[in-house]
């Protein structure tokens, strides 16, 4: 454990007249230490303490008085106000404790008509949640604590000048015994101290206090930037006297209270000491201090170091036979409005987990502001119950130990039966050793107010969520000596699933056939598939689907369109943007499937809220949010495009949207081109930015502005058109497609010329019309899909704007080819291509009648292979070691990779699926990523699987390592897997098992 402690520096209060003033709060008692009569004043201080939504929670009180001789005596105190908000929110359960499955009610009170959010989670979740993510009244009030009056950073009177004035007026400098020595040797030092209480008192009554200046650590005639502290040499420069005080005085109290004082009318007096500093001039020397009260060669702060606390801490019944199957970590997560009487009540069914639940509510009100409840706890409890400890997941064929814990909170020991079985016959029960079959029936004696743990070995035969059923029952008429013999009849049954996976690496093959339903002849489609030699036995599985709608596969898989991680600001948009085009299509085609529309709108709301995590205060967005140095032009344009279109269906803050738009517009240069700011992870877009003209990024930003509502006749669009038209010609299909769509949206007559260039370099084949890339390193499936999709959007927009139908003949062949690139979920490769492709498909589908149009035939084959794929894009080396001094319970995984193609990768993902029975050490991964400002930008931990986001990978090898800790026992574990891939070009990958 970390050591903790505190250090407090205490200084005496100095008064020439030995006067004192102490503010007494609460029941504190003041000891009589003055030589004069003590006078107690009772003062009533009135201030508003009920405006904590806009005022500090700390009040500073300063009390002072002036003596007849002009001396000021003072004291200052801080008063903390009880933490409360105008909108008082409270949660209350109908009971403190209930059985699993029981009926309870939860009530919330707040300011009438408040909008409230409510969350109830298992206490174990809250214990594992960092305190910075828990919204409390204290954390909320810390935001307004900045309104508190702060103490002065510097004294209102300069120590050095004050004390120097005292000596000049006949003080210390007039005493020859205190004159600094002409030389100082390395073996001796001269210390000069003088009790100055009398002289300072006398002189202070006649001197004029200085006007306020900032405190200086060295004489004002010496520039501090030319001084360094020396620890070696004592030769080389003049000696300066240093004056300081170890005491505090009346003016110090004003400093502490943050209050200025007109000290022209009164005097403040304090003791001071005389010391010597030895300064060296120049860039190669430090300045040193020797002698005096500051101590040895390293010097120090007057008073023995910084004041304050130092530590390591941061800112914290009847039994039933019902089977328990519902074990959520999050029980409730809802949004509701409080009634006009300020109350809300909900009837609930208690989950099956025996645990403590923690509820929190946050409410907002138009006039009373925000309110936060204190946590309200509720226990689910049984006197007799059973629980299972399982590995997070296992692979098919592995043997794992199911630990069954039986809890007995009765006052008598209980003889019990334990029965473990497979409800759906998907695993085998083994003997205690070996591979022979065993029994799932055990007996045990559970002591009173204690628990007993029994372990049973099982081996999963099938993949998927495999249910494990356990029944614990008290035996009647037990013959052994367990308990008093007069036992109560108790029983508990639960079913918990464990995830069983195939070993190896997943491979997916998808086949599509685009059929026009207007054709009269029948269509027969045959696909031949062949399993590779390295296939994992029995891992092949597949399905076929016929959907009379281009967006059908997408609608069926909303929320799961891409088999890629969603952990950054761009990837999160895959859960947001596709829903826009689905709803647009449903509305335009008059399809009355409100369930799908409602689900899509709900996904939009969730995606919108998540995306705000990646927003900067200036309105821009970046891939990893505030951990990035600045917003990204590219991602901000992407988000603006989506938010602008989503505002027709969900509540989007228009002020925020305007701020985002203005941030983008501020990046437009005099030539009309937009400046690339922030990290650009997509190399396809980067190619246009790195070339002589940034016209590609300008076209992309222009598309976003127009789709978000910017007029195509505005100045910013006109100037952007100039940038695009003035750019050098290109034969890159990706650039041409984006520029064609941008010009079409702006209704530019130059669109036709760009479309002609684009169609001239297209490829037409049996699978449709598409574009190839001359440079294999520029090519990727995702970029090809984007290119084709932008071409469709450009043609459809141009046709609508100019009523020129000459390009429409190309649309259907392009749509056919796009469809062949779909994955089994209805999405495509990654975020960008999926969103643009769905936008193009939705735009095309809206032109067709609901009853007619194309039909999709889809066949998906999935299987696992033993060895991972390497396509000479990345090198990959994986080692696992036992650290010196560690047991076999802990191992370290080290992954090293480099990019072996020219240039560098896009943003890359490293996925590590650790061996079954081991759990990644979260602290190591936290340290690896830190605050996300280094090479490793983000981590995701899904029990035993780790995903690390890497900004880019170059030819220089990078390595990461972390520990894994042994969890529940797993015998004969299959190898873990490691995979590294380019997010925007996932075909560039390497993997090892």
Question: Tens digit of pLDDT for each residue in 734-750?
Answer: 999 999 999 999 999 99
Rounded CA separation 643/624 (Å): 18
| The architecture CATH gives domain 90-144+320-380 | Single Sheet (2.20)
Query: How far from chain centre, in Å, is Cα 660?
Result: 21
Question: Tens digit of pLDDT for each residue in 545-596?
Answer: 777 777 777 777 776 666 555 667 777 887 788 888 888 878 777 776 788 8
pLDDT reported for residue 96? 95
Rounded CA separation 893/963 (Å): 6
Give the C-alpha distances (Å, rounded to integers) separating 209 from 206, 263, 272, 566, 989.
Answer: 9, 7, 15, 65, 75
Rounded CA separation 980/913 (Å): 12
**Cβ contacts of 307 within 8 Å, gap of 6 or more:** 8, 9
Q: 963 pairs with which residues across the strands?
A: 892
Across 635-649, average pLDDT: 93
**Mean pLDDT computed over every residue of the chain:** 77
Rounded CA separation 657/710 (Å): 12
pLDDT reported for residue 906? 85
3-state DSSP assignment of residue 760: helix
Rounded CA separation 229/408 (Å): 69
User: Is pLDDT larger for residue 634 or for residue 272?
Assistant: 634
Across 209-216, average pLDDT: 33
Q: What percent of the chain has pLDDT over 70?
A: 71
Neighbours of 260 (CB within 10 A): 11
Q: Does pLDDT of 542 surpass 70? A: yes
- Number of helical (H) and strand (E) elements in the chain, helices listed first: 19, 39
Pairing of strands 376-380, 97-98: parallel
Rounded CA separation 32/34 (Å): 6
Instruction: Please list the residue range(s) of the chain that carry CATH number 2.60.40.690.
Output: 874-992
Rounded CA separation 709/701 (Å): 13
Q: Kindly indicate the confidence band of residue 603, based on its pLDDT and cuts at 50, 70 and 90.
A: confident
pLDDT reported for residue 265? 43
Q: Does pLDDT of 104 surpass 60? A: yes
Rounded CA separation 739/762 (Å): 16
Q: Which residue is listed with tokens 């190669």?
A: 284
Which range scores top for mean pLDDT: 286-290, 311-315, 804-808?
804-808
Compute the half-sphere exposure of residue 195: CA atoms within 13 Å on the CB side of its CA.
2
Rounded CA separation 558/603 (Å): 8
Across 254-258, average pLDDT: 62
pLDDT reported for residue 278? 36
Q: 347 pairs with which residues across the strands?
A: 105
Compute the half-sphere exposure of residue 227: CA atoms within 13 Å on the CB side of its CA.
19
Longest dimension (CA), the chain: 120
pLDDT reported for residue 530? 76
Rounded CA separation 60/476 (Å): 71
pLDDT reported for residue 259? 61
Question: Tens digit of pLDDT for each residue in 34-43?
Answer: 445 555 666 6
* C-alpha gyration radius of the chain: 37
Helix (H) or strand (E) holding 689: helix 683-690
331 with 100: CB under 8 angstroms?
no
Q: Which fold has domain 505-865?
A: Glycosyltransferase (1.50.10)
Q: Does pLDDT of 388 surpass 90? A: yes
Q: Which fold has domain 874-992?
A: Immunoglobulin-like (2.60.40)
Question: Tens digit of pLDDT for each residue in 467-497?
Answer: 999 999 998 876 667 877 777 889 999 999 9
Q: Kindly indicate the confidence band of residue 198, based on its pLDDT and cuts at 50, 70 and 90.
A: very low
pLDDT reported for residue 311? 34
Rounded CA separation 749/738 (Å): 16
Say how many Å lie between the first and final Cα of the chain, rounded.
37
Question: Tens digit of pLDDT for each residue in 831-842?
Answer: 888 889 989 988
Question: Tens digit of pLDDT for each residue in 854-893?
Answer: 777 788 888 998 887 667 789 999 999 987 776 778 899 9
The helix, strand and coil proportions of the chain, stated in percent and rounded to the nearest 5, come to 25, 25, 50
Rounded CA separation 196/243 (Å): 12
Rounded CA separation 354/385 (Å): 8
Question: Tens digit of pLDDT for each residue in 303-346?
Answer: 333 333 233 333 334 445 689 999 999 999 999 999 999 999 99
Question: Tens digit of pLDDT for each residue in 428-443?
Answer: 999 988 878 888 999 9
Q: Does pLDDT of 952 surpass 50? A: yes
Give the C-alpha distances (Å, rounded to integers) separating 714 from 90, 190, 721.
Answer: 51, 78, 11
Q: Does pLDDT of 279 surpass 70? A: no
Instruction: Please list the residue range(s) of the chain that carry CATH number 2.20.130.20.
Output: 90-144+320-380
Q: Specify burial of residue 6 (Cβ count, 10 A radius: 0-12, 13-18, 19+).
A: exposed
pLDDT reported for residue 303? 33
111 with 371: CB under 8 angstroms?
yes
Least confident span in 118-122, 729-733, 750-754, 896-900: 729-733
Instruction: Please list the residue range(s) of the chain that carry CATH number 2.60.40.10.
Output: 384-501
3-state DSSP assignment of residue 896: strand
Single pTM value for the model: 0.67
pLDDT reported for residue 585? 79
3-state DSSP assignment of residue 585: helix
Q: Cα-flanking dihedrals φ and ψ of residue 579, to 5°?
A: -65, -30
For 604-629, the three-class secondary structure string (H helix, E strand, C coil) is HHHHHHHHHHHECCCCCECCCHHHCC
Pairing of strands 505-516, 854-865: antiparallel
Q: Kindly indicate the confidence band of residue 294, based on its pLDDT and cuts at 50, 70 and 90.
A: very low
Q: Does pLDDT of 256 surpass 60? A: yes
Rounded CA separation 589/848 (Å): 8
Q: Which fold has domain 384-501?
A: Immunoglobulin-like (2.60.40)
Q: What is the full DSSP assignment across 617-671?
A: TTS-B-TTGGGSSS--HHHHHHHHHHHHHHTTTS---HHHHHHHHHHHHTTB-TT
**Cβ contacts of 262 within 8 Å, gap of 6 or more:** none
pLDDT reported for residue 146? 61
Rounded CA separation 985/734 (Å): 15
Instruction: Please list the residue range(s) of the chain that carry CATH number 1.50.10.20.
Output: 505-865
Rounded CA separation 120/125 (Å): 10
pLDDT reported for residue 295? 30
């Amino acid at each position: 454990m970390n050591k903790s402690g505190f250090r407090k520096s205490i200084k005496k209060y100095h008064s020439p007249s030995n006067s004192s003033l102490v503010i007494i709060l609460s029941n504190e008692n003041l000891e009589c230490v003055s030589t004069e009569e003590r006078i107690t004043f009772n003062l009533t201080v009135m201030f508003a303490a009920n405006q904590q939504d806009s005022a500090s929670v700390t009040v500073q009180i300063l009390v002072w008085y002036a003596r007849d001789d002009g001396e000021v005596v003072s004291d200052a105190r801080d008063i903390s106000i009880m933490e409360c908000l105008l909108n008082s929110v409270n949660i209350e359960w109908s009971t403190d404790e209930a059985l699993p499955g029981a009926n309870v009610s939860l009530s919330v009170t707040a300011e009438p008509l408040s909008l409230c959010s409510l969350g109830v989670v298992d206490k174990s979740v809250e214990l594992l949640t960092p305190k910075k993510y828990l919204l409390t009244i204290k954390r909320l009030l810390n935001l307004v604590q900045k309104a508190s009056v702060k103490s002065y950073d510097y004294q209102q009177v300069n120590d050095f000048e004050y004390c120097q004035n005292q000596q000049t007026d006949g003080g210390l400098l007039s005493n020859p015994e205190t004159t600094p020595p002409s030389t100082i040797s390395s073996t001796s030092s001269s210390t000069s101290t003088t009790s100055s209480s009398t002289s300072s008192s006398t002189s202070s009554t006649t001197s004029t206090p200085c006007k306020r200046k900032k405190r200086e650590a060295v004489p004002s005639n010496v520039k501090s930037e030319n001084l360094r502290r020396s620890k070696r040499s004592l030769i080389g420069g003049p000696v300066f006297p240093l004056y300081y005080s170890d005491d505090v005085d009346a003016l110090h109290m004003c400093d502490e209270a943050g209050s200025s004082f007109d000290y022209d009318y009164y005097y403040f007096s304090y003791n001071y000491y005389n010391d010597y500093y030895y300064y060296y001039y120049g860039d190669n020397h430090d300045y040193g201090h020797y002698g005096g009260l500051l101590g040895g060669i390293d010097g120090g702060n007057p008073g023995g170091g910084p004041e304050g606390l130092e530590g390591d801490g941061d800112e914290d019944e009847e039994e039933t036979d019902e089977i328990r199957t519902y074990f959520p970590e999050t029980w409730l997560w809802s949004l509701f409005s409080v009634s006009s009487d300020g109350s809300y009540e909900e009837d609930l069914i208690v989950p099956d987990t025996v645990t403590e639940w923690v509820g929190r509510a946050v409410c907002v009100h138009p006039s009373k502001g925000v309110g936060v409840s204190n946590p309200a706890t509720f226990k689910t409890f049984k006197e007799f119950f059973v629980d299972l400890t399982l590995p997070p997941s296992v692979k098919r064929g592995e043997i794992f130990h199911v630990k069954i814990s039986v809890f007995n909170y009765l006052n008598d020991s209980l003889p019990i039966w334990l029965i473990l079985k497979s409800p759906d016959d998907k695993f085998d029960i083994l003997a205690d050793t070996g591979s022979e079959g065993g029994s799932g029936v055990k007996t045990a004696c559970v002591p009173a107010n204690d628990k007993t743990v029994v372990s049973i070995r099982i081996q999963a035969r099938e993949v998927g969520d495999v249910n494990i059923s356990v029944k614990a029952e008290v035996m009647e008429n037990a013959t052994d000596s367990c308990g008093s013999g007069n036992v109560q009849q108790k029983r508990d049954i639960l079913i918990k699933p464990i995830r069983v996976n195939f070993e190896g690496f997943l491979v997916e093959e998808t086949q599509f056939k685009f059929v026009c339903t207007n054709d009269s002849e029948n269509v027969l489609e045959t696909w031949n598939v062949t399993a590779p030699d390295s296939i994992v036995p029995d891992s092949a599985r597949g399905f076929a689907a016929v959907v009379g709608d281009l967006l059908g596969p997408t609608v069926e898989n909303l929320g799961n369109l891409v088999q890629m991680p969603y952990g950054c600001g761009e990837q999160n948009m895959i859960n947001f943007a596709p829903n826009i085009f689905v709803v647009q299509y449903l509305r335009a085609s008059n399809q009355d499937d409100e369930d799908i529309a409602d689900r899509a709108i709900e996904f939009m709301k969730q995606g919108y809220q998540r995306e705000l995590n990646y927003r900067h205060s200036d309105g821009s967005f970046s891939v990893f949010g505030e951990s990035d140095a600045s917003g990204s032009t590219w991602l901000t344009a992407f988000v603006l495009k989506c938010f602008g279109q989503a505002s027709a269906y969900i509540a989007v803050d228009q002020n925020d949207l305007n701020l985002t738009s203005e941030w983008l517009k501020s990046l437009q240069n005099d030539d009309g081109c937009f400046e690339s700011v922030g990290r650009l992870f997509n190399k396809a877009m980067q190619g246009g930015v790195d070339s002589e003209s940034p016209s590609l990024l300008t076209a992309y930003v222009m598309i976003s502005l127009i789709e978000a509502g910017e007029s195509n006749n505005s100045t910013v669009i006109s100037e952007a058109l100039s940038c695009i038209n003035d750019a050098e010609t290109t034969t890159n299909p990706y650039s041409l497609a984006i520029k064609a769509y941008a010009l079409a949206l702006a209704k530019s007559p130059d669109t036709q010329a760009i479309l002609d260039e684009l169609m001239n370099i297209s490829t037409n084949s049996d699978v449709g019309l598409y574009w190839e890339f001359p440079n294999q390193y520029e090519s990727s499936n995702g970029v090809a899909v984007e290119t084709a999709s932008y071409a469709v959007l450009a043609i459809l927009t141009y046709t609508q704007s100019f009523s020129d139908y000459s390009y429409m003949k190309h649309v259907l062949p392009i749509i056919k080819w796009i469809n062949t690139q779909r994955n089994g979920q209805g999405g495509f490769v990654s975020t960008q291509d999926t969103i643009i492709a769905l936008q193009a498909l939705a735009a095309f589908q809206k032109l067709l009648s609901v009853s007619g149009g194309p039909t999709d035939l889809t066949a998906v084959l999935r299987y696992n292979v033993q060895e991972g794929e390497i396509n000479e894009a990345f090198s990959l080396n994986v080692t696992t070691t036992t650290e010196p001094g560690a047991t076999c319970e802990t191992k370290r995984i080290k992954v090293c990779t480099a990019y072996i193609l020219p240039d560098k990768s896009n943003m890359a993902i490293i996925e590590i699926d650790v061996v079954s029975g081991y759990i990644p050490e979260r602290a190591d991964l936290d340290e690896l990523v830190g605050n996300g400002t280094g090479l490793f930008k983000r981590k995701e931990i899904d029990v035993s699987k780790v995903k690390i986001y890497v900004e880019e990978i170059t030819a220089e090898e990078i390595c990461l390592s972390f520990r894994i800790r042994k969890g529940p026992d797993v015998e004969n574990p299959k190898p873990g897997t490691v995979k590294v891939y380019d997010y925007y070009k996932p075909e560039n990958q390497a993997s090892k098992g």
